[in-house]
Amino acid sequence: MKLEVRIGAGARTVELVRREGRWRAQLDGVPVEADVVELGAGVYSVLLGGRVYEVRVQPEAQRLRIAVGAEEFSAEVFDPRAWRSRRSSALEAEGRQQVTAPMPGKVVRVLVQPGELVQARQGLVVVEAMKMQNEVQSPKSGRVERLFVQEGQAVNAGEVLAEIA
């Protein structure tokens, strides 16, 4: 998976490959050896250059808040695959829409409440699958009519998470 990460004015290319249960990374084309263990939802222990770091990652709207020790960063992460799909879906969905889980996983965060007004592409629910957190977004601007899930609940691919009218 190849991503572009922007922190402040700087931009870096990060390529991640999972092999034999470990992550291999390249930062701007340079291999980086790191051991990463997920301690809990959004909390990681990272062994890098002989030092251990506790990293906390919290999704926010279109950014990630990353805390490493006492330092905090706000990062934008761009996935070229997501960009291609956004380009082809510039128009909002119309009418009542059911928002479904893209893959099986566990609901780790519910970001909205029934009756709440949301914007198109606003995060509704965070589903963890294969140790990655995926924000499920609203296909349209509207009102959250119903939520069908709660935090901690397991979901199947295609299961309805919310309804937007």
**Fold classified for 2-80:** Glycoprotein, Type 4 Pilin (3.30.700)
pLDDT at res. 33: 79
Positions of E strands within 20-122 = 22-27, 30-32, 34-40, 43-48, 51-60, 63-68, 71-78, 97-100, 105-110, 117-118
Q: Has this prediction a pTM greater than 0.85?
A: no
pLDDT-derived band of residue 88, with 50, 70 and 90 as boundaries?
very low
Domain residue ranges of the chain, discontinuous segments joined by +: 2-80, 92-164
- Mean pLDDT across the chain: 82
**40-68: buried (b, 16+ CB within 10 Å) or exposed (e) per residue?**
ebbebeeeeeeeeeebbebbeeeebebee
**Fold classified for 92-164:** OB fold (Dihydrolipoamide Acetyltransferase, E2P) (2.40.50)
Evaluate if residue 16 carries a pLDDT over 90.
no
Using an 8 Å Cβ cutoff, are 113 and 147 in contact? yes
Q: What is the mean pLDDT of residues 11-19?
A: 79
